[in-house]
Structure 1
Amino acid sequence: MDQRTLKPITETKYLSVENAWRYRAIMRFFYISVQQYRLWLHKEDVFEHLRREAAFQDYTLELCLQDLEALREWRNLNAVQDTAKVSTYQQFVNKQYRYQMTEYAIEIERMTLRLENLFIEGSSLDPTLLERIKEALRRLPEMLTSDTNVLGGWWQQLSHDFQRLNQDYQDYLRDWSSARAEELMKTKSFLLYKEKLVDYLRHFIKELQHHSQEIEGLLRQVTPEMQATLWQRLTHYEMSIPRVDAEQLRAEDVYTNLQGKYQSLHRFFQGSAARESEVETILTMTNEIIRRITRYAAGILEMSSQYTSRREEYRKIATLFQQQPTLDAAHQLASQVFGLGGYRHFAGDLVRETESIHRSVYEEPPLFHRLTPRVRQYREKMLKTAIPDRQAEQQAMREQVLAQRRQEQAVLMNCLQQGEIAFETLGVIDPSVRRSLLTWLSRGLQEQGGIAITEHGLKFRLANPGETRRCRLESSDGSLEMPAYVLDFNVTAEDTRMG
């Protein structure tokens, strides 16, 4: 921060001193005169204007001169001696001054007008600003080679549209997130324009999603070289404008300011690695407002329906009962209007033949439920049944499993060629043999050194000679691609100790 940021602003002192009402009236008259291109005023002009107001009936010319001098000391007014109509020495000594507003004072008074009309003007969500920003960014490559004055006008329009978009959406969403809006949403009068507000927000969301994607694509096409060229040419344009305080304007400050504005535009639509874009924030906040509006509206309608008189409904029902020809017909109508007078629920493990909701209960099969006495001494009779002898079946199953194991062992022994099994030379094998081989392979992979033992007591070493060489293990039910492992069964006692 430099000294300009840290020093006090004396020009705003007239807004909060003891006689602020007099100073503010004088400054407002000067501001209106500036808008009408009356840049210089005499004390008599100010005095005559103030005397027209009821609050200044006791105001004097001497007091007016004191107020003007106080404003001049606070640098709100510039004073120049008017010597055009001086004809005597006495008139020259009395120093007739003309007064003019300073630039600071004009901006301060403009700010006070903005504050006074803050809740009168209101804010809005204008989708046309997005479209204008998109069209301006589309012309960026063309602007880099155009005349400097054309480039400056293009940038000022783009900056103004982006500033308006940023400020308007913040003001509008802030208003609908305030406590005052919360109270408004709880009133019945809010229902009258609820749909209009929701349509307005949804239209803005739709336009924002459409244009923001195109703007994001255009920003991605701008290279760092194009950005540097843009900032340099705009800095040259700003420095070429004649100004009163041109000596205090530095090219480095202008360049940094332009760079910051462009990066703000970039972050607004694209975001950064640390946080999401401002567009995503707007969409989230707008959707949240729509949800709150809908929730409050539903609550208001529910509360209203609780206290609605149902006299007309009861009268209509009474008329329907009166029109029934017989008592039995009235009973049938009562069952439809009020439901059954008394009914029972029966629960059971009913297995339905269909899931249709239109099937009548009379079309369902009957459900039988056995009732038992409700006495403590009641016990279910236990049916005594003999335990069947399944020893023969178990023996047959055991023989079948052993025969299958012997067959697998015989096939595996046939696969042993010179004390090893190479997966790439097995050919087509049975799925049961493949299952046993893969089990042995898994054991070898789990053991340190690759030495494991089969369920038949045979030791083997797992090896993969080619390391990266692969093979295809074919079976009757499919093929398996795998490394060309080798199960070496020539394992000595020394190998076992080393493993």
Structure 2
Amino acid sequence: MTSAADPHANPPVGGTGRAGEPYQPFAHLTAENCALYRRVMGVFVRAKQEFTVHLRPEDVHLGLPPEVRPPLDGVAKALEQLAKWGNLRADPDTSRVTALEDFYRARHIYQLTRAGEAAEEALAAYDGALGRRGELQAVALADIAVQLRAVLALARRPDPDPTVVHLSLLALVDRFSGLAENARAFMGSLQRTVDLHEAEVEVFLAYKQRLIDYLERFIEDLVTRGAEIAGLLEELGVSPESPVGPLLRLAAEREASDAAPDAAAEALAAARARWQGRWDGLRAWFLSVPGRNSQAKLLRSAARQAIPQLLAVVQALNERRAGRSDRSADFRELARWFAEAPDDDARHRLWRSAFGLHSARHLTIDQEALAERDTDPVPASASWYDAPGVRISPQLRRTGSYERRGRARAVQNRDEARAYLAELARKQAEQTAAARARLATRGEVRLSDLDELDRDAFRLFLLLLGDALSMWRPGTTSVSTTTNDGTMEIRLTRLPGGGLAEIDTLDGVLWGPEHLVEIVDLTSAGEVTGAGHE
């Protein structure tokens, strides 16, 4: 237990207070009984959340987990040390004094100091940031779209309520901030997962497929919801004269209404700049501009790149399981053997065994030569020039190889495997061709005029739609792009006032703003055009 003479208590940790005196709210993190100090401070944090201010040593003792609860004297000494560091404040406990002798006994009640409370808040934030995994929130995309539609409805009102406007924008910013922060944390943890070299093979393989499905599902949601959000942001605008301009001014004025009279102008200017920055950040996340891609597009690209990286890790793990040689690992193991060798002679033997640098006297010779070697042995260190010659087999001299060759290994018949792969490729090509034929019709078509799409056609359609939306820029009304393999071309045209379009699929109904779309199958003899959906 750390006492007043604890060596860990001497160096001040954290700087000095306002009056110049040293304060040590983080000193308990490097002390010998750090775990006990952290648990004691945790009892005070939980008590404060329950609106309990003062605690006696008995209360702290009961608040500790039973499996790690020290004796009451140990808790009392820990409280005294935390009070010396400034994390706690000790006050005389006069409520239990019944005799004059009790005044001379050290009885105290303890409460958190401002420095101790700030230190615990900082440690909680630190632990939370380290343990945060993040997530790709497809639900947040839907919530942002709903909030933007509500903001657009407020912008169309002649005299919107400032309270409703402020709360709606706060909810929008809060949901967007959570989405961006969680996406950043998830991609960071995903990269650490991809870079993992010592993962348990079975656990990683079981996790891999769920992660890939998770990424693909989010990419599809980001394509569909992102297009809707981008359209709403374009309609709301960005300038003070746009529909969102008056709403941002109302939110800033309501935020600055509680400022002091002498700082009202500065508070209003700061609030306006803050809200304009939030709105610009939201637009930059979903809208691309010339020379800069949107964060949503970058996230979509990073998520797509993570899938082949995960598959590469799986391939490396499978190679490791198959026992394939890793030369760098072999050399590291050999270096360990050299370091553990007892003497230089053992290291020389290990060197000759590892790299085959033996004397050339291992060639096959006859019994007469062996008898001569037994009578007059030649040391291994003798030079070949000074040593007597060695009689070798004429066959070895003629062919360079003495061992008898066995029967050649039979060639495996892989016709069945090749036929299976050819059939699989044929079926995939037929499915892709059928999907292209399903999407391809002649001329521009409204989205609402499409019939039900099967899964293959719908998956191909989403890829085409994602390529088209990635080319969309603010102010454009029509885009045209081709797929990476050059087999299809899509032309997407905005249809103002067209309302909503719905497309039936086997997995549900896809809806969005009405557009004119033309899809050209470039592999067919003539240009066949068709329809798709945003």
**When the two structures are superposed, what TM-score results if normalisation uses the length of structure 2?**
0.45
Is the radius of gyration larger for structure 1 or structure 2?
1
TM-score (norm 1): 0.48
